[in-house]
């Protein structure tokens, strides 16, 4: 039994390892804030959201599968919450069952019986929801899920499970058959179902020649030996029952984790709607087509923070490998970079994206190389640290991936920084990696502009003649100034005239 | 030993017919000095149950006995032989386990069951051993004699009856079925009436949840295993369900005394002598120590060997994957006494030990640690190594040493090997020379083979019976912990400079190292 609400044919695994670039992505793109908004205080939702975002899908079919499940969820958030609560409670109540899955088969069996009892009750609840609500859901994922629930967990089967758990309490004693092993040792114990007790032979299932003895309750060794015989007889059923209980518990664990993601999406949609921020279902395109088009693309983190409408950007970068972003300070360059990265990752998580329209080729992974604080351990200089990080990325990154650079290699002088950056950019794009590069390195930007390769776009943060920023990016030639003077003046007031370079 | 009309005494694989000597009770006096105690301890580890030490303490006295063993040992090296003997030993060990187990249980059915297992195991072991040995291409008198004996024994009426009955009983007992109902503290035992297998029913019912699961929740659980009094009570009631079968078993148990053949039991023990030593050889061969069967003689003292190695040192170095130094020697004409001089770094003592070991081991009839060897079979090996001074000893060290030498010379014969290491060093040089020259003269007169390790160069060239050997300081091979000993005139050269160079402690080297250390 698999819920298969996240993947067409696999479990959503909360313990799957995250990619090595995950910490950088979280920090640079503000992933935690998005996940927190999705979670609304629920840890499981937070974890599921984070996993789904960091372990994106790379098949368009898989993405559409999730998009459809999500669309069902957005239409019926209450039912989804109900299913989610049942799954979470199943897992929690099972955890509270007394005992351990270790030691003798007797203790394993007792623990498993307790677990099966709890879990069967929640399977019944799941069945009830499926019976009542299945008709309202139309996605492939939910249709398969509800169908599986009603066919696998029919009343007869659930009743049979309960009957077996009752029988395995051995209220009338435990019957074993046995054989003789090496040196007349007792061996080959098989647990038997006692035949129907006949009213004539009240002694039980035995015929002529049977005899019995009793172990004194003071005979500790004897009682232990008796328990050992019971344990040997029940080892197979103990294992089978424990495996079953674990399977059902695992089913509910996976179900809870999968539904948690959709619960989080519902929460985020509600949250964005309350900030009057729009969203859309993106159109994923097969990897390799180099499609990237967006209208009204914004950073959802900023929208959640500011609590109001934020400026969206349009981007038309089909067939482009390099997007160079230059221009005014505080002009929205970093925000744009985050918006691009998040939209890409949200699309590949099967989520809606923060844009009016969004279409992009899927990529195997997103990487970020953002300017960092000084290394507090003082182990190495800043450029050292930057190069080491880029080298680490280089050992992970693959063709088709997306690399978002924010003021990379600005920690040295312009000439060196530009040269290093130029070589990195050239090598990455030649290796079919989509590079977004925000920079103040004029030599770098100008040099690339002069070559004007056909697969590059040059964007500039817009600054009006009076110095106001629109937070929009427009296509245009890199300028030798980033209008830092504006910032200077904003802080210090009037300054000297333009300084010649 | 003759039963069922079988002729001839039971043969031994350790001694030719009629040549079984009295075995030494304790460790020979030379063992500690030659470090053979370590070697034998290593060889015996894990084989304590066979009580093999006395075979190692009792070397053979004549070349015919040595060859008898060498042939057996060579046969046991043939492909497949080790496996045959190993399996037999394992089976016989199991037989002993069952026999010992009989005493550990009260229940008659359990005692009888254990005896049946022992008897059945013994029969299987004998049949497998005979089959295995017959398939081998044997050439030794010892093993061929044993196979002939074993063939007669396995064909005897007594053995076939034991085999047939044990087989039948075991088969019938394994078909016994019974039921046990445990309700509270009450246990009821009765006939099995083909009730449904509840485990299978449960497994089938829950299969959709268990499919693909490999978790074993009972991985850390073990049944008590050993039969206890509850088992005994159940078994007693099972026996009541099958009175005829258990009656037969009880009669079989009545024949438990003397069901094993003494020669088979002896073989099981004696063959372990070869296996113990062969295992040691294999271990040392893995790190490069070479072994060979020496050519032996009870008459000629024209001893010669190539690649002779101190087996005890090899054993220590093998732990670090290293190989001990090896030495060559060949004695000609009247040469009897090897006088070894040289630096005080282990090469001399190692050589002396090795010489003693080779002759002792040759006398055991086993391979010796050398590439090739022609050795003398001594009547005894004597050692005279420096001892710690003891406070209770009023005679003084020198006198004590002299008394020990007198004792050795009184016991030794022209067929003895004597190893003397740094003797008489606790006196002046001229005293040492005087005493040494006299002792060497006595040994020469006796005609024994000897090694004499000394720092007195003059002793190396006393007569045509002495051979001068010098431990050489190598140019520099830190892997070697001991030095080569070569035939050379003892010239009293200073070794100090060479040693200093080896350790990088000459003036120029030490200065250079100190300069480099300062720059770090």
Q: Encode pLDDT of B259-279 as tens digits.
A: 999 999 999 999 999 999 999
Q: Encode pLDDT of B217-249 as tens digits.
A: 888 889 887 889 999 999 999 999 999 999 999
Out of A227-241, A389-403, A412-426, B374-388, least confident range = A412-426
> For the residues A222-236, what does the mean pLDDT come to?
94
Out of A88-102, A165-179, A419-433, B29-43, least confident range = A419-433
Burial B384-403 (b: 16+ CB within 10 A, else e): bbbeeeeeeeeeebbebbbe
Taking CA atoms, what residue in B is nearest to A195? B195
Q: Encode pLDDT of A243-274 as tens digits.
A: 999 999 999 999 999 999 999 999 999 999 99
C-alpha dihedral over B41, B46, B47, B51, to 10 degrees?
50
Q: Can you give the pLDDT at residue B343?
A: 66
Out of A120-124, A392-396, B288-292, least confident range = A392-396
Chain A nearest-CA distance from B224, in A, is 7
Question: Which value, in Å, is the radius of gyration of the alpha carbons in chain A?
Answer: 32
Q: Can you give the pLDDT at residue A501?
A: 38
In sequence order, the 6+-apart residues with CB closer than 8 A to the CB of B444 are: B336, B337, B463, B465, B466
Indicate if the pLDDT at residue B284 is higher than 90.
yes
Indicate if the pLDDT at residue A198 is higher than 60.
no
Structure-token match 């670090």, residue found: B320
Enumerate the residues of chain B whose CB falls inside 8 A of the CB of residue A206: 179, 181, 188, 190-191, 193
Q: Distance between CA atoms of B202 and A139, rounded to whole angstroms?
A: 36
- Give whichever of A67-76, B428-437, B451-460 has the largest mean pLDDT: A67-76
Indicate if the pLDDT at residue A211 is higher than 50.
yes
Phi then psi for residue A338, to 5 deg, are: -65, -40
Report CA-CA distances (Å) from B13 to A232, B3, B71, B77, B139: 48, 20, 10, 14, 13
Report the complex ipTM: 0.72
**Nearest Cα to Cα of residue A106 among A275, A245, A233:** A233
Q: How confident is the model at residue A193 (pLDDT cuts 50, 70, 90)?
A: very high
Contact status, residue B369 vs residue B284, Cβ threshold 8 Å: yes
More confident residue, A387 or B442: B442
Q: Distance between CA atoms of B262 and A72, rounded to whole angstroms?
A: 87
Q: Which among B101, B202, B213 has the least Cβ separation from residue A237? A: B202
Enumerate the residues of chain B whose CB falls inside 8 A of the CB of residue A194: 181, 195
Indicate if the pLDDT at residue B24 is higher than 50.
yes
> For the residues A350-378, what does the mean pLDDT come to?
84
> For the residues A27-50, what does the mean pLDDT come to?
95
Average pLDDT, chain A: 88
Query: In this complex, do B190 and A207 lie within 8 Å of one another by their Cβ atoms?
Result: yes
- Percent over 70 (pLDDT), chain B: 87
Q: Distance between CA atoms of B421 and B342, rounded to whole angstroms?
A: 13
In sequence order, the 6+-apart residues with CB closer than 8 A to the CB of B509 are: B501
Q: Encode pLDDT of B460-509 as tens digits.
A: 888 888 888 887 766 554 334 457 888 877 765 444 445 445 544 344 44
Enumerate the residues of chain B whose CB falls inside 8 A of the CB of residue A101: 217
Q: Distance between CA atoms of B265 and B47, rounded to whole angstroms?
A: 15
Instruction: Say if residue A369 is exposed, middle or buried (CB neighbours under 10 Å; 0-12, 13-18, 19+).
Output: buried
Chain B nearest-CA distance from A231, in A, is 8
Q: Can you give the pLDDT at residue B503?
A: 47
For chain A, positions 134-173, list CB contacts with chain B under 8 A: 152, 160-161, 164, 167-168, 172-173
Chain A nearest-CA distance from B198, in A, is 5
Enumerate the residues of chain A whose CB falls inside 8 A of the CB of residue B110: 183-185
A166-171: long-range pairs with CB below 8 Å, 24+: A167/A193, A167/B198, A168/A109, A168/A113, A168/A234, A168/A237, A168/A241, A168/B202, A169/A113
Query: In this complex, do B234 and A179 lie within 8 Å of one another by their Cβ atoms?
Result: no
Report CA-CA distances (Å) from B226 to A107, A227, B119, B239: 21, 14, 20, 19
Query: In this complex, do A243 and B210 lie within 8 Å of one another by their Cβ atoms?
Result: yes
Q: Which among B179, B213, B216 has the least Cβ separation from residue A175? A: B179
Q: Can you give the pLDDT at residue B499?
A: 45
Taking CA atoms, what residue in A is nearest to B108? A184
More confident residue, B49 or B491: B49
More confident residue, A496 or B291: B291
Q: How confident is the model at residue A359 (pLDDT cuts 50, 70, 90)?
A: very high
| DSSP line for B437-496 | HHHHHHHHHHT-EEEEE-S-GGGGGSSTTEEEEEEPPPSS-TT-SS--EEE--------H
Q: Which two tokens stand for residue B281?
A: 């050889």
Chain A nearest-CA distance from B230, in A, is 6
Out of A61-65, A109-113, A368-372, B145-149, least confident range = A368-372
What's the CATH architecture for B289-515? 3-Layer(aba) Sandwich (3.40)
Length of chain B: 520
Chain A nearest-CA distance from B236, in A, is 10
Out of A56-60, A305-309, B324-328, least confident range = A305-309
Q: Can you give the pLDDT at residue B488?
A: 77
Average pLDDT, chain B: 86
Q: Within a 10 A sphere around the Cβ of A99, how many other Cβ atoms?
A: 15
- Percent over 90 (pLDDT), chain B: 62
For chain B, positions 180-219, list CB contacts with chain A under 8 A: 180-193, 195-199, 201-203, 205-206, 208-210, 213, 215-218
Contact status, residue A321 vs residue A456, Cβ threshold 8 Å: yes
- Give whichever of A259-273, A430-444, A481-495, B458-472 has the largest mean pLDDT: A259-273
Would you call B219 helix, strand, or coil by DSSP? Answer: coil
Query: In this complex, do A160 and B238 lie within 8 Å of one another by their Cβ atoms?
Result: no
Taking CA atoms, what residue in B is nearest to A112? B217
Q: What is the 3-state secondary structure (H, E, C) of A348-391?
A: HCCCCECCCEEEEECCCCEEEEECCCCCCCCCCCHHHHHHHHHH
For chain B, positions 74-113, list CB contacts with chain A under 8 A: 98, 101, 109-110, 112-113
Chain B nearest-CA distance from A207, in A, is 7
> For the residues B93-99, what does the mean pLDDT come to?
96
Q: Which among A176, A180, A215 has the least Cβ separation from residue B179? A: A176
Query: In this complex, do B177 and A217 lie within 8 Å of one another by their Cβ atoms?
Result: no
DSSP annotation of B261 reads -
Indicate if the pLDDT at residue A382 is higher than 70.
no
Taking CA atoms, what residue in B is nearest to A210? B190
Q: Alpha helix (H) ranges present in B325-428?
A: 347-364, 397-411
Contact status, residue B140 vs residue B72, Cβ threshold 8 Å: yes
More confident residue, B508 or B71: B71
Phi-psi region of A209 (alpha: psi -120 to 50; beta: other; left: phi over 0): left
Positive or negative, the CA dihedral A139, A141, A144, A148 is negative
Positive or negative, the CA dihedral B470, B472, B473, B478 is negative
Indicate if the pLDDT at residue A383 is higher than 60.
yes
Q: Which among A167, A230, A240 has the least Cβ separation from residue B203? A: A240
Q: Which among B113, B210, B218 has the least Cβ separation from residue A183? A: B113
For chain B, positions 298-357, list CB contacts with chain A under 8 A: none
Q: How many contacts (CB atoms, under 8 Å) link A and B? A: 218
Q: Which among A172, A208, A238 has the least Cβ separation from residue B218? A: A238
- Give the DSSP H or E segment for B278: helix B262-286
Q: Can you give the pLDDT at residue B25?
A: 85
Indicate if the pLDDT at residue B362 is higher than 90.
yes
- Give the DSSP H or E segment for B328: strand B326-330
């Amino acid at each position: 039994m698999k819920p298969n609400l996240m993947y067409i044919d696999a479990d959503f695994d909360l313990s799957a390892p995250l990619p090595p670039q995950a910490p950088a992505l979280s920090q640079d793109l503000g992933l935690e804030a998005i996940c927190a908004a999705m979670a609304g205080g629920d840890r499981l939702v937070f974890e599921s959201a984070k996993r789904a975002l960091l372990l994106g899908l790379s098949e368009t079919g898989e993405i559409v599968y999730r998009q459809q499940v999500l669309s069902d969820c957005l239409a019926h958030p209450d039912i989804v919450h109900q299913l989610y609560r049942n799954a979470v409670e199943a897992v929690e109540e099972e955890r509270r069952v007394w005992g351990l899955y270790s030691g003798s088969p007797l203790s394993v069996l007792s623990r498993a019986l307790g677990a099966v009892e709890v879990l069967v009750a929640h399977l019944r609840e799941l069945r009830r929801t499926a019976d009542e609500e299945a008709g309202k859901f139309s996605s492939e994922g939910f249709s398969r899920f509800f169908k599986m629930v009603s066919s696998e967990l029919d009343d007869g089967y659930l009743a049979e499970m309960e009957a077996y758990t009752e029988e395995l309490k051995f209220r009338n004693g435990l019957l074993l058959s046995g054989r003789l092993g090496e040196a007349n040792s007792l061996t080959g114990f098989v647990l038997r179902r006692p035949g129907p007790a006949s009213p004539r032979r009240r002694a039980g299932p035995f015929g002529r020649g049977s005899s019995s003895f009793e172990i004194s309750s003071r005979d500790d060794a004897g009682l232990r030996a008796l328990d050992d015989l019971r344990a040997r007889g029940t080892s197979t059923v103990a294992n089978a029952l424990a495996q079953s209980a674990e399977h059902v518990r695992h089913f509910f664990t996976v179900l809870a984790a999968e539904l948690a993601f959709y619960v989080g999406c519902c929460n985020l949609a509600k949250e964005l709607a309350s900030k009057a921020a729009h969203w859309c279902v993106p159109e994923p395109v097969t990897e390799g087509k180099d499609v990237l088009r967006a209208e009204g693309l914004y950073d959802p983190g900023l929208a959640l923070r500011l609590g109001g409408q934020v400026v969206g950007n349009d981007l038309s970068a089909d067939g482009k490998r390099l997007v160079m972003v230059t221009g005014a300070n505080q002009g929205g360059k970093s925000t744009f970079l985050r918006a691009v990265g998040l939209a890409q990752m949200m699309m590949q998580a099967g989520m809606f994206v923060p844009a009016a329209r969004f279409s992009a080729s899927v990529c195997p992974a997103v990487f970020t190389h953002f300017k960092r604080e000084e290394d507090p351990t003082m182990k190495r200089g800043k450029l050292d640290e930057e190069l080491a990080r880029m080298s680490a990325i280089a050992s992970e990154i693959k063709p088709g991936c997306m690399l978002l650079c924010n003021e990379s290699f600005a920690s040295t002088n312009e000439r060196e920084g530009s040269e290093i950056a130029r070589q990195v950019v050239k090598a990455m794009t030649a290796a079919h990696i989509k590079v977004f590069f925000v920079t103040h390195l004029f030599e770098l930007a100008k040099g690339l502009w002069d070559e004007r390769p056909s697969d590059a776009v040059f964007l500039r943060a817009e600054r009006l003649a009076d110095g106001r920023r629109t937070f929009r990016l427009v296509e245009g030639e890199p300028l030798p100034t980033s209008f830092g003077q504006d910032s200077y003046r904003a802080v210090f007031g009037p300054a000297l005239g333009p300084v010649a370079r | 030993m003759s039963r069922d009309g079988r002729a001839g005494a039971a043969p031994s694989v350790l001694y030719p017919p009629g040549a079984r000597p009295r075995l030494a009770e304790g460790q020979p006096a030379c063992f500690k000095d030659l470090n053979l105690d370590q070697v034998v301890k290593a060889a015996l580890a894990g084989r304590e149950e066979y009580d093999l030490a006395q075979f190692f303490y009792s070397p053979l006295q004549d070349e015919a006995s040595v060859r008898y063993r060498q042939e057996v040992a060579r046969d046991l090296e043939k492909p497949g032989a080790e496996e045959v003997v190993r399996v037999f030993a394992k089976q016989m060990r199991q037989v002993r386990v069952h026999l010992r187990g009989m005493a550990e249980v009260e229940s008659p059915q359990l005692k009888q069951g254990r005896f049946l297992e022992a008897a059945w195991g013994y029969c299987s072991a004998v049949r497998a051993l005979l089959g295995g040995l017959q398939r081998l291409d044997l050439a030794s008198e010892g093993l061929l004699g044993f196979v002939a004996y074993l063939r007669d024994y396995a064909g005897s009426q007594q053995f076939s009856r034991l085999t047939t009955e044990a087989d039948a009983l075991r088969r019938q007992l394994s078909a016994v079925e019974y039921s046990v109902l445990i309700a509270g503290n009450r246990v009821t035992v009765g006939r099995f009436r083909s009730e449904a297998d509840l485990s299978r029913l449960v497994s089938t019912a829950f299969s959709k949840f268990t499919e693909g699961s490999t978790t074993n929740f009972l991985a850390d659980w073990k049944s008590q295993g050993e039969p206890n009094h509850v088992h005994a009570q159940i078994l007693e009631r099972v026996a009541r369900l099958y009175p005829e079968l258990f009656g037969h078993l009880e009669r079989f148990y009545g024949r438990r005394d003397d069901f094993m053949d003494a020669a088979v039991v002896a073989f099981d023990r004696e063959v372990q002598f070869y296996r113990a030593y062969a295992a040691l050889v294999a271990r040392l061969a893995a790190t490069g120590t070479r072994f060979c069967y020496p050519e032996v003689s009870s008459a000629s003292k024209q001893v010669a060997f190539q690649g002779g190695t101190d087996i005890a040192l090899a054993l220590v170095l093998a732990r670090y994957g290293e190989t001990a130094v090896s030495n060559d020697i060949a004695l000609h004409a009247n040469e009897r006494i090897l006088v070894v001089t040289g630096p005080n770094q282990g090469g001399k003592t190692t050589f002396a030990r090795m010489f003693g070991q080779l002759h002792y081991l040759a006398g055991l009839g086993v391979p010796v640690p050398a590439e090739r060897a022609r050795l003398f079979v001594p009547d005894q090996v004597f050692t005279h190594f420096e001892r710690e001074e003891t406070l209770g000893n009023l005679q003084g060290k020198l006198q004590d040493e002299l008394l020990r030498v007198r004792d050795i010379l009184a016991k030794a014969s022209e067929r003895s090997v004597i190893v003397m290491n740094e003797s008489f060093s606790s006196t002046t040089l001229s005293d040492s020379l005087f005493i040494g020259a006299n002792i060497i003269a006595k040994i020469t007169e006796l005609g024994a083979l000897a090694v004499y390790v000394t720092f007195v160069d003059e002793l190396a060239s006393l007569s045509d019976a002495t051979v001068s050997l010098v431990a050489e300081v190598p140019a520099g091979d830190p892997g070697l912990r001991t030095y080569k000993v070569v035939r050379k005139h003892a010239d009293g050269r200073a070794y100090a400079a060479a040693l200093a160079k080896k350790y990088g402690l000459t003036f120029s080297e030490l200065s250079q190292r100190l300069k480099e250390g300062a720059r770090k």
